[in-house]
Amino acid sequence: MPTRTPLEALLDLAADVMGHDRRTLPADAAGSPFITLGGTLEQAMRLQARAEERLRLGLDLSLLLGPVPLADALARAVPAPAAAPGQRPAPRRRPALPQQRAALAARPGLAGYRVLSAELTGRLDLSALRTALAALGERHEGLRTVFAPSPTGPVRHVLAACPVPLLTQPHPAPGGDPVAAAHARLAQDVAGPAGPGPADRAGRPPLAFVLTPLAADRVLLSFLYHEAVADVWSAALVWQELLADYGRAVDGHAPVRTPAPGPDAAAQRADPASPPAARPEPAAERAARPRDVPGVPPLAGGAGPAAVDFRGERLPFGLGAGLRDGVDATARRAGVPHSTVVLAAWVLALSRRTGHERLLIGTELPRRPTAALLRTVAPYAAVLPVRCELEPTTDYFLRGLACAYSEALAYADAGPAGPAQVTFAAHDELLPTRIRAGGITARFHHGHLGGVTAHAALTLLRWRERPLLALDFATSSLERSDAVGLAVGTRTALRALALSRPWTPVDDLLPPPAPARTTGTALPLHGR
């Protein structure tokens, strides 16, 4: 029986991860990039991990998601390095990593804090929870890192031992949404003497877990962290590992304490991607130097402020199951991920609002080029500018957005042209809606603490069950009524995309112009 080549084995693995037919994927992969075959970011990360675990081959995530055909990206796989035993760094001061410096500089005061919570149903074993938190802190040096200013810039100090704090706050007042009330209380208390405080507060890592009782056998456990410690992918990893260790502790088993790769691992790795000279220059110019595309003009009319003051609000809005299924059908037809269709609706709403057909929109990328780094708690994420253009017909428009996204990822190291005024992120695949461990069920909530990083940011939070999006907006740039208008326009565009045909003119998809001030200050959570 002939031995399969590494490329054939990788193609079979890719077909399994993506849900494609093993017999037909090789032909499709020869001419189409991963993302235009419907591949998602979560699938790319899963393929990367499985290739290393099963085949001992390393795939570069940016290359896999880039504009080259999938077969070419897989053919550039390199032997995965042998897993080195985890080692604890010697406690000493080191310069902050570039991503940490950027987060500390660009998020003044408390604006850099984020929260990812789990609503826990069932009888919580506090002893098992503390055991799991202790193991989590022992594994990840990022959770034991403190920051301090210095004459040469921020420095970090990894503590030899530092229990992950477990704080408590009182039961929310009756009435209203208790989860939202708990998050609002967190936003008030983060600066308090018992809270994490500013990221550079000496002696404390800028993070904590906070326990809020909601009802009998129901509590909210919130992971509060600064962006200098973790990105959203790291926060999801923290939750997965914490719940796994909690389940082990409840069952009487010891949690995993082997140190995970530290944040320095990314800077020390050898890049398996091809040298820049081998990359197509036209795409590089388009993705890395998109100076011919204007930033998004003021969204509320007038000159608008030059910079965001980091204070803002969140406007959540949902989609009905029928609309979700229609978007999925359009995505399958066009050969793109469902998140690309959501991005397209955001582009259409912004285009109608601003009158521009070519826009730069910042999109998130985890930038974890090796499978080992998928187990690291660190702020690796980057926001990259994607050149979004309206095209004549629907499917051409959708595939163009997918390709533009791929090109931006492939040239991430070239650096952005400038800060993004509007952004898009898809977080729906980071965690399942629920995880069961140790007799409890965890249901996740993405909280908001009142900080923003752009004039307007659309995030896809959930998709498979009760689809949910969130529009974060800077109150210095937009009135709430303006944000409501953008959210309504996005949902209207999604509905048009769900009902579209491949040849539907893009002009027919554009939502009607929003009035100067949209009446009302609330948006129904669920739409048809």
What pLDDT score does 268 carry?
55
pLDDT at 415 over 80: no
Predicted confidence (pLDDT) per residue in 429-466, tens digit: 888 889 999 999 999 999 999 888 889 999 999 999 99
Token digits of residue 284: 């590089």
The mean pLDDT value for 330-353 works out to 94
Token digits of residue 37: 């075959």
Is CATH 3.40.640.10 the right assignment for the domain spanning 7-79?
A: no
Q: What CA–CA distance (Å, rounded) separates 83 from 136?
A: 20
CB atoms within 10 A of CB 257: 13
Predicted confidence (pLDDT) per residue in 315-328, tens digit: 999 999 999 999 99
What pLDDT score does 105 carry?
80
pLDDT at 281 over 90: no
3-state secondary structure 329-378: HHHHHHCCCHHHHHHHHHHHHHHHHHCCCEEEEEEEECCCCCCHHHHCCC
Helices (H) and strands (E) in the chain, counts: 15, 17
Q: What CA–CA distance (Å, rounded) separates 287 from 281?
A: 10
φ and ψ at residue 234, rounded to 5 degrees: -65, -40
pLDDT at 290 over 80: no
Domains of the chain, by residue range, sit at: 7-79, 97-262, 285-431+452-508
39, 238, 307, 402 from 327: Cα distances, Å: 15, 31, 34, 15
Predicted confidence (pLDDT) per residue in 92-108, tens digit: 688 998 888 888 887 66
Same topology between domain 7-79 and domain 285-431+452-508: no
**Using CA atoms in the order 324, 297, 109, 200, what is the torsion angle rounded to 10 degrees?**
80
pLDDT at 122 over 80: yes
Element (H, E) at 433: none
The mean pLDDT value for 183-204 works out to 71
Kindly report the CATH number that applies to the domain delimited by 285-431+452-508.
3.30.559.30
What pLDDT score does 49 carry?
86
Predicted confidence (pLDDT) per residue in 15-63, tens digit: 999 989 999 999 999 988 888 888 888 888 889 888 988 899 988 877 8
Q: What CA–CA distance (Å, rounded) separates 48 from 218?
A: 37
pLDDT at 419 over 60: no
What pLDDT score does 270 carry?
39
Positive or negative torsion for Cα 104, 109, 114, 118: positive
Residues near 95 by beta carbon (within 8 Å), at least 6 away in sequence: 152, 153, 154, 155, 156
Q: What CA–CA distance (Å, rounded) separates 457 from 361?
A: 9
Residue scoring higher pLDDT (132 or 175): 132
Positive or negative torsion for Cα 298, 304, 309, 314: negative
317-340 as b/e: b if 16+ CB within 10 A: bbbeeebbebbbebbeebbbbbbb
3-state secondary structure of 408: helix
The mean pLDDT value for 162-185 works out to 90
Banded pLDDT at 89 (limits 50, 70, 90):
low
Taking a C-beta distance cutoff of 8 angstroms, is the pair 154, 104 a contact? yes
Residue scoring higher pLDDT (451 or 73): 73
Q: Mean pLDDT in the chain?
A: 83
Q: State how far Cα 274 lies from the chain centre.
A: 26
pLDDT at 279 over 60: no
What pLDDT score does 515 carry?
53
φ and ψ at residue 10, rounded to 5 degrees: -65, -40
Residue scoring higher pLDDT (250 or 203): 250
Token digits of residue 364: 């998130």
**Using CA atoms in the order 136, 210, 236, 446, what is the torsion angle rounded to 10 degrees?**
180
Positive or negative torsion for Cα 470, 474, 478, 480: positive
What pLDDT score does 277 carry?
34
CATH architecture classification, 97-262? 2-Layer Sandwich (3.30)
Q: State how far Cα 284 lies from the chain centre.
A: 24
What pLDDT score does 276 carry?
36
13, 28, 114, 410 from 335: Cα distances, Å: 19, 11, 33, 20
Q: What CA–CA distance (Å, rounded) separates 33 from 409?
A: 12
Which ranges constitute the DSSP H helices of 60-213? 61-64, 70-75, 98-106, 126-139, 178-189
pLDDT at 291 over 90: no
Note the pTM of the prediction, 2 decimals: 0.85
Residue scoring higher pLDDT (257 or 494): 494
Predicted confidence (pLDDT) per residue in 375-411, tens digit: 899 998 888 889 999 999 999 999 999 888 878 875 5
Residue type for position 290: P
The mean pLDDT value for 220-237 works out to 94
What pLDDT score does 522 carry?
41
- Of 205, 115, 225, 209, nearest to 162 by C-alpha is 205
Residue type for position 191: A
What pLDDT score does 88 carry?
58
What pLDDT score does 27 carry?
93
Residue scoring higher pLDDT (201 or 128): 128
3-state secondary structure of 222: strand
Token digits of residue 200: 């550079």
Strongest mean pLDDT among 110-114, 213-217, 409-413: 213-217
